[in-house]
Chain A
Amino acid sequence: MLSDTLPKAASKTGEQIAVQIDGVGKSFAGTVALKPIWLKIARGEFLTLLGPSGCGKTTLLNLIAGFLEADAGELFIHRDLVTRVPPHLREIGIVFQNYALFPHMSVAQNVAYGLRTRRVSKVEITERVREALALVKLEDFADRRPRQLSGGQQQRVALARALVIRPRVLLLDEPFSALDRNLRGAMQVELREIQSSLGLTTVFVTHDQSEALSMSDRIAVMSRAQIQQIGTPDEIYDRPQSRFVSTFVGDANLFSATLISSSGKDVRLKLGEVGLDLTTYQSDLPAPGPVTLFVRPEHCRLTEAGSPGAVPATVALAVYQGSYTELYLDCPFADTGRAMLRVPASTVMAPGTAVGIALPQQGPAIFPKE
């Protein structure tokens, strides 16, 4: 499941590696925070560490930054071994969740901080601070104090401060979680534009799956102190390799089924009396017996009750969402007792109506029963 293959973009430029993590792991007082992992991040890549809290994503970020020292393994940044290099010499830019702007300094002084530690000349500092603030569209705010800025503006200052030192890697620790929804979307687009225009290697930590899907070149889904699956957003969304990934990223309908037989990627299943012949994307299939069948809601279709091959269900609740309606169905085979389908907004379905769920021939997956 662990894959250290590089994305296509990187192979074109000769597979330049920005960060290489070789068996780095960390425990705190006997509790494993991060099992040893192997990971290569290409130059210019936007990699997202996605997972619930406590999954080890922040530990990994802190290990790359150097705020934590690895128990084992080696870490390389731009081919330099940095495992024992203290954080202030790693040439890394960080944007924190709470931005961590210095409250006793002006915006310009905040941005200049990293240049002054590098003993850059005064003339150059002025010029580069101006450039950095222009990049985040805050030229007119140079003399303000951080507390006089809005959340979005503070975040841009934090970004400018991290970028002005021309870091080898940019680390983002849940930078959007404090912003309201509209601003969050705008900042995501802006950050992605800046990141790709500078060709900046970026490691982004979040627990928000939609953020991960919309921004990343690759996503590493983490849970229980390890990477569960790593791949491009569409790989993660369309071909999850485990039950955890399938439910953590996007919506999933999970059905209890019995695997009768399989040959290659073709499987024969039974849901109660309903027999199904499907083709999965998996190369690794569980042994015949009780399994969990995974389908995305948008791949399910609503049909009449009793149609051949349709899973029986009853309408429980219709939730109008504007451009579509979410239809919640009571289904005896659904793992949680409920399945969800998206239907055109004009669809009117009274609760209690008996319906059928038609599953697609291609695209579902089968996970071992937990």
Chain B
Amino acid sequence: MSKRPFLGWFASPSILIAFGLTASFLAIIQYSLRAHVPGSLDPGGFTFDNFTTLWHLAYGRAFMNSLLLCIWTAVFALLIGYPLAYAMIRARSGLLRSAILLISLTPLFMGEIVRTYSWMIVLGNRGFLNSVLLKLGLIDSPIGFMFTMTGVVIALVHFTLPIVVVMLAAALSHIDRNLERAATSLGAGRVRVFFTVTLPLSMPGVVAATSTAFAWTFSAFATPQMIGGGQVSTISTMVYQVGFASFNFPLAASLSLTGLLFAIAVLALFNTGIRRLEKYGAH
């Protein structure tokens, strides 16, 4: 007690937040088990009906869409983020390193709405991307990015890239350069060194970045809502629609709860993956 005299004071804000979170979480659980009374915001009696309703095809599609968005976003964020992180760590010029860091971090500094609107301007039928492609003669008619999975994925990749780049850069910076030099001295060219030493040793970082990208994408709301425009429904847009268009709070609550469990299950899967990789001794 005497050793940490301010511990109580420092801990109090986190206790408040924890209390608030637990209370709202319990409220959602409570709502999810109550019946919906049409025309009323107050829930009815105890029931499991909300969860059985979720077996409907529309909700299944929302889960499927969420999962697909997560997978595609993670895949492309990794494919773009890995080279960026690698260049950032290995670039000899400090200016180039800072430039990569700055560019990959900018999405973090923009509000979600502003960022999504910018993408609507870029991806629209008369948007920047289509205009350029048309001018160059690469396409004859505009590609429909808006209200499609592709458009949502593009915007979400932009959204997830900063965290992926930072996490991969951290993993790459911890790889001992002497390991690559040792491989080189043993006759391995650059490509072989990368695939036999650098990549395997950065796998814990790759898994960590993927799971974080997954979680970010899973919880994204504004991007699929605005760019998807109702055509790409995910769990979060569905929760919004059920809750604030139909005012069916109990169903929205059960949908959120199921989504949360789904996300936890996916992340738990990743965690076991990381632990297995750590056993291999990559730092």
Using a CB–CB distance below 8 Å, which chain A residues touch chain B? Answer: 65, 67, 86-94, 96-98, 100-104, 113-114, 117-118, 145-147, 161-162, 165
- The interface-forming segment of B71-79, B156-164, B176-184 is B176-184
Contacting pair A88 B178 (CB below 8 A): no
Q: B261 on the interface (CB 8 Å rule)?
A: no
Contacting pair A94 B185 (CB below 8 A): yes
- Other A-B pairs beyond A102-B197, A104-B201, 6, CB < 8 Å: A88-B188, A100-B179, A114-B187, A117-B188, A118-B187, A161-B182
> Using an 8 Å CB-CB cutoff, how does the interface string of B242-256 with A read, 1 for contact, 0 for none?
000000000000000
Using a CB–CB distance below 8 Å, which chain B residues touch chain A? Answer: 176, 178-179, 181-189, 192, 196-197, 200-201, 280-283
Given A103-B282, A104-B282, A147-B281: A92 and B176 interface contact (C-beta under 8 Å): no
Residues of B within 8 A of A98 (CB): 176, 178
CA–CA, A100 to B88, complex, Å? 23
In the complex, 9 of the A-B residue pairs with CB atoms within 8 angstroms, ordered by the A residue number, are: A88-B187, A88-B188, A91-B187, A98-B178, A100-B181, A102-B179, A113-B183, A117-B187, A145-B280
**B235: min CB distance to chain A, Å:** 37
Find the B residue at minimum CB distance from A89. B187
CA–CA, A85 to B179, complex, Å? 20
**B187: min CB distance to chain A, Å:** 4
Contacting pair A104 B280 (CB below 8 A): yes
CA–CA, A127 to B187, complex, Å? 19
CA–CA, A92 to B196, complex, Å? 19
**B17: min CB distance to chain A, Å:** 40
Contacting pair B183 A102 (CB below 8 A): yes
Contacting pair A100 B178 (CB below 8 A): yes
Contacting pair B186 A165 (CB below 8 A): yes
Residues of A within 8 A of B181 (CB): 65, 67, 87, 94, 96, 100
Residues of A within 8 A of B200 (CB): 104
Contacting pair B182 A96 (CB below 8 A): yes
Residues of B within 8 A of A114 (CB): 186-187
CA–CA, A46 to B196, complex, Å? 32
Contacting pair A96 B280 (CB below 8 A): no
Contacting pair A103 B186 (CB below 8 A): no
Residue among B187, B188, B196, B201 making CB contact with A103, cutoff 8 Å: B201
Given A87-B184, A102-B197, A104-B280: A117 and B176 interface contact (C-beta under 8 Å): no
Residues of A within 8 A of B197 (CB): 102
Contacting pair B280 A103 (CB below 8 A): yes
CA–CA, A67 to B181, complex, Å? 8
Residues of A within 8 A of B178 (CB): 96-98, 100
Find the B residue at minimum CB distance from A92. B185
Given A117-B188, A118-B187: A100 and B176 interface contact (C-beta under 8 Å): yes
Residues of B within 8 A of A118 (CB): 187
Contacting pair A117 B192 (CB below 8 A): yes
CA–CA, A112 to B176, complex, Å? 20
Contacting pair A146 B281 (CB below 8 A): yes
Q: Which 7 A-B pairs have the closest CB atoms?
A: A114-B186, A103-B281, A117-B187, A100-B178, A100-B182, A94-B185, A104-B280
CA–CA, A216 to B283, complex, Å? 36
**B191: min CB distance to chain A, Å:** 11
Find the B residue at minimum CB distance from A109. B196
Contacting pair B282 A94 (CB below 8 A): no
CA–CA, A67 to B177, complex, Å? 11
CA–CA, A145 to B281, complex, Å? 8
CA–CA, A91 to B187, complex, Å? 7
Given A100-B176, A117-B192: A88 and B184 interface contact (C-beta under 8 Å): yes
CA–CA, A280 to B197, complex, Å? 56
Residues of B within 8 A of A87 (CB): 181, 184-185
Contacting pair B186 A161 (CB below 8 A): yes
**Residue among A65, A97, A104 with the most chain B CB within 10 A?**
A104
CA–CA, A96 to B184, complex, Å? 13
CA–CA, A117 to B178, complex, Å? 18
CA–CA, A320 to B91, complex, Å? 55
Residues of B within 8 A of A103 (CB): 201, 280-283
**B185: min CB distance to chain A, Å:** 4
Residues of B within 8 A of A86 (CB): 189
CA–CA, A98 to B200, complex, Å? 20
Residues of B within 8 A of A161 (CB): 182, 186
**Residue among B176, B183, B185, B201 with the most chain A CB within 10 A?**
B185
Find the B residue at minimum CB distance from A96. B178
Residues of A within 8 A of B179 (CB): 100, 102
